[in-house]
Structure 1
C-alpha cells in the first residue's frame, strides 16, 4: 500500500462498480448525488474495528465487506426503507495489500447487490492503529412513514424473523480455537439478513421494529425504552435451531443464551397489533405489556448480560 497514492487506490478499488439510474453523480467529486424524486431519505452509519469486531485470521476481506454492508442495510430495512446506496470509508495501515482493500469493496457491493443498491463513494486513509471500516447507507421510504422504535403499544404482539443466535455461536466456536460447525462460523462472517421482511413488516402495519445487532434482549430493550412499555418474551416460543443445540452440548452451554443475547445475525424484531396477521417469515415470541418499562423473559427479570455494549460495564 505504501507504493500506491490515495487516488490510485480509490481508482483500483472502485473500478467496475455499477452506476444505477438513480445515481445522478457518482464517485469522483466531493460528494455523490442521488435523485430520489422528493421522497424521504433514510441514512445510517455503522463501523467495524479490527480486533473488536473482526479478525483477519477469522474472516476474509470480502467477508468483512459483507458484514459492514449488512450492518447498515439491516438498519435501513428495519425502518421500512428500500436501500439505495452505500458509501465506505477505510483507515488501513500502509503495509496492507491493495488487493485486500479491493476485496472489502467487492464484499460490500456483493451484499448491496442483494437489494439492487450501489457503492457510490467513500474515503480512504492510512492509520498506525487497527483497521477501521465505516459505511453510510442511504434508503428511500417510497412514500411510506418510517417504522420507529417508539410505536409499540400494550397489547401488541412481538415477532421475530431471521436467524437468531447463530453468529454468537459462531463467535464462541472461533474463540475456542475451532473452525466448525461451518454453518455457524459462516453466519458470523456473512450474516443472512432477512432484508425483504423489513418492507413486508412495514406494509403489514408494524408498530415498531429494530434490527438485532446487539442482542435480542438488548435491542427489544431499546423498543421498550423508546415506547415506554414492558415487553415479555416467551422462551418456549423462541426457535433454537439444531446447529445451536448440537454446539451447546459440545461446549456445555445453554443455547438459549445465544438466542437471547447474541447479536450480529441482524434478524428483525418487530411489534404488530395483537389481532394482526404476521408477514411471511415472522413468528410470535412475546407480547407488549403496560407494566414497568423493560424486558422480561417468562415474566422474570433476565440475569446476566443482555447483549453487546460498546461502552460501560
Structure 2
C-alpha cells in the first residue's frame, strides 16, 4: 500500500472565490457544465427551461459535506464532481428513469480556489455526459464564517421514457432479488484511505468515483422489475427499505451474493486479509457504490448485468431482511460489521 498525497493547502490564493467574485465563479463553472439534451434554456437566466418528453419528471436531491462525504486530501476536485453527480444519477436510474439535468447548490469558504471549483464542474459534466445530461443551473454562496467546509447540494432531474416508475413498495412474495453493479468497493477503499494508504488503487478509486450501472435501471423497468432502489447506505440497510415499503421479508442468499460480488483473490479479499477482516462485511454493509437492487417476478429473465442474489418471502412476523434465513443484524455482527449499514445521524 502507498500513502496518499499530502493535504491540499487551505490558504487564500490570488485566484480565490473572494477575488473572482460570484459571477466570475459562475462564468468559469458554466464554461465546463456541458449541454443537457433536453435544455431549451440553460444556465444564465433566472431559471433553466427543460423539455419533459415523458410528461413527468423524476426529481431527487443529495447533499455532500466536506469531511463527511469527501476529503480534499483524498480526492481531486474532479473526483468530488463525479461522486456528487453519481449519487443523484443513480437515484434516477433506480426509478427506472434516465437522468436529464442537474441543479447544483454550492457553499464554500471565500478562500476556495476557483480552479478547485472548475475541477468539480468538470467532474460533474464528465459523469453526466454519457447520459446526455448536464448542469443547467444552481446557486453559490459563501460558507458560514469559520465553518471551513464545502457543501454541495445536487438535484437530479430525469425522464421515465413512458415507463411506470419502479417503486420500493412493489416487491411480492415469490419474487427474485437481484443485483446490478458492485458492492463493498467504496467501503474497502475508505478503509484503505483511513489507514493512510492509497492502494490497491482500484478500491481507492471506487471510493473516489463510484460507477453506478445507470443503464441497468431502465433495463430492469423494461424487464418487469417489481421494486428497486440504489444501494447508497449498504445492501442490508437498503434492502430493509424494500422490505419495509413492500411489507415482506427480503432474504439474501449468501452464496449467490458472494458469487456476484467477490472475485477470487480480488482486491477486497486482499485488503481484508491485510487488515484482518472479512470482505463480506463491506459487501453487506458498505455504502456509496450505488449498485442497484431490484425484485423481479419468479421466472423472469433478468436483463444483462443483473444477478440473482436472494428471494422475497411472506412476512408473518413483520417486514425484515435476512441472510439465509438469519436476521441481518446477527449476520452483520458475525462478519465484523459495525451495524447493517450507514446511518446518517448515528
Cα gap change, 1:81/1:52 in structure 2, threshold over 3 Å: closer, same or farther?
A: same
Residue in structure 1 matched with residue 251 of structure 2 by the alignment: 232
Partners of 1:307 and 1:149 in 2: CA distance: 18
Partner of 1:308: 342
Unaligned runs of 5+ in 2: 1-16, 334-338
Per the alignment, in what secondary structure is the counterpart of residue 123 of structure 1?
strand
CA shift, 1:114, in A, is 2.0
Q: 2:274 aligns with which of 232, 250, 269?
A: 250
Q: State the match for 1:209 in structure 2.
A: 228
Alignment of 1:142-157 (within 5 A): 142-157=161-176
> Deviation per CA, 1:109-164, whole angstroms, max 9, x where unpaired?
00001211111011111113211011100001111110000000000000001111
Matched with 1:284 is: 308
What's 1:40 paired with? 56
Query: 1 CA distance for matches of 2:54 and 2:262?
Result: 44
Match of 2:13? none
Give the unaligned 5+ runs of structure 1: none
The structural deviation recorded for 1:281 is 0.9
CA contact (8 A) 1:39 1:142 kept: no
Counterpart pick for 1:66 among 82, 90, 94: 82
Q: CA RMSD in A?
A: 1.1
Structure 2-normalised TM-score?
0.88
TM-score of the superposed pair, with normalisation by structure 1: 0.97
**Alpha-carbon separation, structure 2, partners of 1:101 and 1:311:** 28
- Alignment-derived partner of residue 119 in structure 1: 135
Distance in 2 (alpha carbons) for counterparts of 1:15 and 1:285: 44
Following the alignment from structure 1 to structure 2, what is the Cα–Cα distance between the partners of residues 223 and 191? 22
8 Å contact from structure 2 (residues 54, 159) kept in 1 = no
* Alignment of structure 1 residues 255-270 onto 2, 5 Å: 255-270=279-294
Instruction: Tell me the SS of whatever aligns to 1:114.
Output: helix
